[in-house]
Homo-oligomer: A and B are copies of this chain.
Amino acid sequence: MVKYVYNFSEGDKDMKDLLGGKGANLAEMTKLGLPVPPGFTISTDACREYLKRGEVPAELATEVTKNLRKVEDEIGRRLGEPTGPLLMSVRSGAKFSMPGMMETVLNIGLNDQSVVGLAEFASDERFAWDSYRRLIQMFGKTVMHIEGDGFSDALDKLKEDRGVHYDHELSAEDLKGLVATFKEIFKAETGRDFPQDPREQLDMGIEAVFQSWNTERAKIYRRRERISESLGTAVNVQTMVFGNMGETSGTGVCFTRDPSTGHSGVYGDYLMNAQGEDVVAGIRNTEPLSTLGDHDPKSYQELLGIMRKLETHYQDLCDIEFTIERGKLWMLQTRVGKRTAAAAFRVATQLVDEKLITMDEALTRVTGAQLTQLMFPQFDDKAPKELLTRAMAASPGAAVGEIVFNNDDAEAAARAGRKCILVRRETNPEDLPGMVAAEGILTARGGKTSHAAVVARGMGKTCICGAEALRVDAEEKTLAVGDRILKAGDIIAIDGTTGEVFAGDVPVVDSVVTTYLAHGLEAGLEAAGADEQMADLVNSVHRLLTHADAVRTMKVRANADTPEDSERAIEFGAEGIGLCRTEHMFLGDRRVLIERVILAEEGSADRQAGFDALEELQKGDFLQMLRVLDAKPMTVRLIDPPLHEFLPDLTSLEVKVAVAKAVEGKADPADEKMLEAVRRMHESNPMLGLRGVRLGIYLPGLFDLQIRALTQAAAELKKEGLDPRPEIMVPLVGSIRELAIIRHNAEQIIAEEAAKAGVELDIHVGCMIELPRAAMTAEDLAQEADFFSFGTNDLTQTVWGFSRDDVEGVFIPKYIEEAVFGVSPFETIDQHGVGRVVREGVERARSTKPDIKLGVCGEHGGDPESIHFFHEVGLNYVSCSPFRVPIARLEAGRAAVLAD
């Protein structure tokens, strides 16, 4: 027989699927013998059954009765009985927290009789009638779906009539009258009287919570947070306790350690003679937890004991809600507490030092995202700052600049070399140029998945969203907060990590964590100086990162095209270069050479002269890079983009020539010749055109010069006694024959150059897997490849059939809003689609060559969630931008621990 209802004494913290997060933790505390107000949880099974049938399963009523009687017997009072009634709360509680999305009904059990009983029991008539009017209001709105402001209008009118300002200034008599008014509103709106039967109130409350699973806002929330529709919510029915029964009552929130700094020792807030909702509403200021020690030492000591017990039990920092009702301490909720990035690292190592957890476990308590936050420069703590407002921290960083309100001003500022912050009510695709030009973006509307947020994260720009306190007038070019008015050109500073907006310039300081990562422990500690907290943080990061390095199975390489980037990458702990793009070596002064190659005829002396000059220059580049890398591997990708990208833009040149002809009757012959070439080479979809290996096959000699330059550089260094380890990577391969052609050429060149130099060279040849066909036929390609590197940027583009340039700022935010994506597939790998292609590629490759070296060099290589996926599918390494190397090291370590 199915069981729908669990007394708190029957569950535990691991039953979140069935009891939801809140219910499971209430059960856990009950099991630990802590003072939890008695109650029971109706399981998610019951909710799912209700949603399926469209009605409450009959068995549920009987189970509720049994459990309710048990609670009544335990307390010794009955639900809603006329004297000393038992009151109950009914709250939702899903597996994953969905704050504010579903319904709650408090004070169930009050009716025209029991309100009198409650007044006597609590010796507080005002309290009883206020509770009753709250029940009618909450029940009317959440259970009976009464819309509009009828209840609050009536309350406001009463206060006006009485000439008072606050609710608590109303008398018991006032509230009695208000209850009568509320009951009239209830009847008028619903066509029935407010239910006097306590059990009917309870049953209707439970059903209302079930229904609230399927409200539109809950559905939208789940889509965005990628929470499955099929989970359903549990319902917690719990005895009410009151922190507002006088001076010996109160309520508070506490943490077993400081969640903000990670400082050890308890931390919390307390409010005497108040309910939890008063704390949330912020009507009165809370006091530090320690005041409870002065006020009610017994409860305080009991609470400290419970906190220690909970932390020992959960082996982590706990976040706790409690209420004291007339000197009796009750635990209302606990969970593992949220914390700042710095706190996460410090707490994790503290717990290790206290021998509560192992280093492996400690690794699971910190994340790459937290490490990222710690690496950004931050506003100087000590500098004076004028806080304007605080809003959604949408993309981290600290940005300072003059206020601009539109694209033109942003671009003008950027051109003039002035930093600016783009301020908009909200952004849309037309604001892209301004976003590109600005240091940071600040919007008054929209959340973490708004256009501004998604695009800014994609660009790596600092961004704060949904700063509702701001009044943005783009026409007048003003930005107002309260009475404070700023104009275009005024300086503001935004902190994308905390969501704080400051007026005026704020000095930015480097992160001590970044100093440590770049220059080692000693340098980090020196930078921390006398700040113990900072020094502790540096030590914590060092210990956790060192442990991650020890346990991870994936290597971490960097994407770097210059000796400077390579040096930085190695400082940050990169074990090699996973992607050295060579097209960057054709830019600048050298562009003229590649132009010459393009314009010359195939087989002509002019083309060969261009090739020769490029070969010499590339050899120089490779010599520098390989010297930096020495015994570390360096994967060189042969030139990838279509050649016309090195020529002038078609439209500009057409305009130039046409205007010259119209005005002067003729155009510069050099321009005309160039135009002809540009027209001939124009492609309608360059991403899908003549590039990568296609170009290598189509234009004989191009890849050869690169291979020769690399081989000669390696040979030269080998003779010097260094240990160069270049690897040749062929881009955009789709079929084995393409790879075979290039590999064959490469092997010949390597053999020739090795013989010429009299050294042995073992240069691996492999390819990118960035086309679906490459992954789908990887068992073939593996025959000709020593390694594969998944190019997940291009793979995302081809698997989805969209080009990042064209869609990222345009419809990716729209798609996130419409819940097609939870996150941009360019930020985190789309495991369900692109990931399947990667997985298939890995399996096929290993089926031919079990030992083939497999890596990834798309931007996903530095994304925490993606790194876990790459670990799971069995890649040998990830390669990412130098700055992300420490994050990848940490996450690769975490992945290894978590996968076990």
Contact = CB atoms under 8 A, between A and B. Distances in A.
Q: Is the interface of A mostly helix, strand, loop or mixed?
A: helix
Contact of A833 (B430, B686, B776): B776
Interface stretch (A61-69, A311-319, A755-763, A799-807): A799-807
A605 interface: no
A697 interface: yes
A844 to B, nearest CB: 10
B655 A689 contact: no
Interface stretch (A117-125, A493-501, A767-775): A767-775
Contacts of A188: none
A697 B815 contact: yes
A464 B737 CA distance: 29
A688 interface: yes
Across the A-B interface, the 3 shortest Cβ-Cβ residue pairs = A688-B803, A689-B806, A685-B803
A694 B802 CA distance: 10
Contacts of A800: 734, 771, 773
Interface stretch (A14-22, A349-357, A472-480, A657-665): A657-665
Contacts of A732: 801
Contacts of A689: 802-803, 806-807
B697 A811 contact: yes
7 contacts: A223-B737, A658-B658, A690-B806, A737-B820, A770-B801, A776-B836, A777-B833
A797 interface: yes
Interface in A678-704: 680, 683-690, 694, 697-698
A814 B658 contact: no
A806 B659 contact: no
A560 to B, nearest CB: 25
A801 B734 contact: yes
A198 to B, nearest CB: 42
A700 to B, nearest CB: 11
B688 A820 contact: no
A203 interface: no
A716 interface: no
A144 to B, nearest CB: 29
A735 interface: yes
Interface residues of A, number: 60
Interface in A654-675: 654-655, 658-659, 662-663
Contacts of A190: none
A830 to B, nearest CB: 8
Contacts of A413: none
A690 B737 CA distance: 34
A799 to B, nearest CB: 5
Contact of A735 (B688, B803, B833): B833
A709 to B, nearest CB: 24
Contacts of A773: 799-801, 830, 833-834
Interface in A803-827: 803, 805-807, 810-811, 814-815, 818-821
Interface of A: 223, 430, 650-651, 654-655, 658-659, 662-663, 680, 683-690, 694, 697-698, 732, 734-735, 737-738, 741, 770-773, 776-777, 780, 794, 797-803, 805-807, 810-811, 814-815, 818-821, 830, 832-834, 836-837
Contacts of A663: 662-663
A732 B223 CA distance: 22
A847 to B, nearest CB: 14
Contact of A798 (B698, B799, B819): B799
B685 A805 contact: yes
A792 to B, nearest CB: 13
Q: How many copies does the complex hold?
A: 2
A804 to B, nearest CB: 9
A450 B732 CA distance: 24
Contact of A430 (B651, B680, B771, B803): B680
Contact of A688 (B654, B687, B830, B833): B687
Given A651-B654, A683-B803, A689-B806, 5 more contacts: A223-B737, A688-B797, A697-B811, A735-B820, A773-B801
A811 B662 contact: no
Contacts of A836: 776-777
A894 B360 CA distance: 63
A41 B771 CA distance: 46
A690 B810 contact: yes
Contacts of A694: 802, 807, 811, 815
A776 B690 contact: no
A772 B798 CA distance: 8
B737 A772 contact: no
A665 to B, nearest CB: 12
Contacts of A771: 799-801
A801 B798 contact: yes
Nearest to A832: B777
Contacts of A686: 684-685, 806
Contact of A819 (B683, B734, B737): B737
Given A654-B651, A800-B771, A820-B738, A811 B698 contact: yes
Contacts of A777: 832-833, 836
A772 B797 contact: no
Contacts of A651: 650-651, 654
A552 to B, nearest CB: 29
Contacts of A687: 684-685, 688, 801
Contacts of A770: 801
Contact of A802 (B430, B654, B688, B832): B688
A209 to B, nearest CB: 27
A694 B821 CA distance: 13
Nearest to A732: B801
A837 B833 CA distance: 12
Contacts of A818: 697, 737, 741
B690 A811 contact: yes
Contacts of A738: 820
A181 B430 CA distance: 87
A806 B650 contact: no
Contacts of A685: 685-688, 803, 805-806
B776 A814 contact: no
Contacts of A780: 832
A184 to B, nearest CB: 39
A800 B771 CA distance: 6
Contacts of A684: 686-687, 803, 805-806
A326 to B, nearest CB: 53
